[in-house]
Structure 1
């Protein structure tokens, strides 16, 4: 059983390091609010430059992946479960701030991970 867990952990890490196309509609910072028992997702706009980098629409500069970036979200979505936040984001928001199916799939997986962390009392770190 431990070998199966090790194999799936290795596979998951490899898949997390693959190349992904960025969504021109923006990106999300996902976190949990344990005190209020909520999954939260801040949406930020961006544009993709000719190098494939996500850039800040206000400054035109690439948005760094690491470090602190001070930007104001366009929207904040919250839900008590992964399903609730997905319904709010994908079914009740018009226009939907997600334009790529791979991005939607990623968000669903992250919301599930965030829900599991919220229910177990563990820390959640977005992949």
Structure 2
């Protein structure tokens, strides 16, 4: 029997959890970007509505928001900072009204901000999960 290394074990666990159903946050969603020229993390918040099928829809058009393609939506808020911690505090403590309402969404955002920060520090491309 081949024993998996710790990285593969973690990857398998995370992949399994990624397949579960999640309820979307009615307060909206975030797109995380890096600006390597200014060494900043940029987080854009977009509002959405959740329809009766649990699908995020554009609050103006009522159309489902697609995960692919070019978005022409305007963020409701833009947060900028040098670190994941700085942005976490700005998003959750400094800019009312709160743009996040679900604990699992907050945990996800924290993980993604840490990942983005690591990419910024190490000059790697960031891909949001």
Give the alignment's TM-score, normalised by structure 1: 0.95
Q: How far apart are the structure 1 equivalents of 2:118 and 2:128?
A: 13
> What are the superposed Cα offsets for residues 13-71 of structure 1, whole Å, 9 maximum, x if unpaired?
22222211101111011111111111111110100000100000110111011222211
Unaligned runs of 5+ in 1: none
- Superposed CA RMSD in Å reads 1.3
- Pairing of 1:86-125 with structure 2 (within 5 A): 86-125=88-127
Partner of 1:69: 71
Q: How far apart are the structure 2 equivalents of 1:15 and 1:2?
A: 18
Partner of 2:12: 10
Unaligned runs of 5+ in 2: none
Q: How far apart are the structure 1 equivalents of 2:66 and 2:72?
A: 11
* Aligned counterpart for 2:35 among listed residues 33, 36, 42: 33
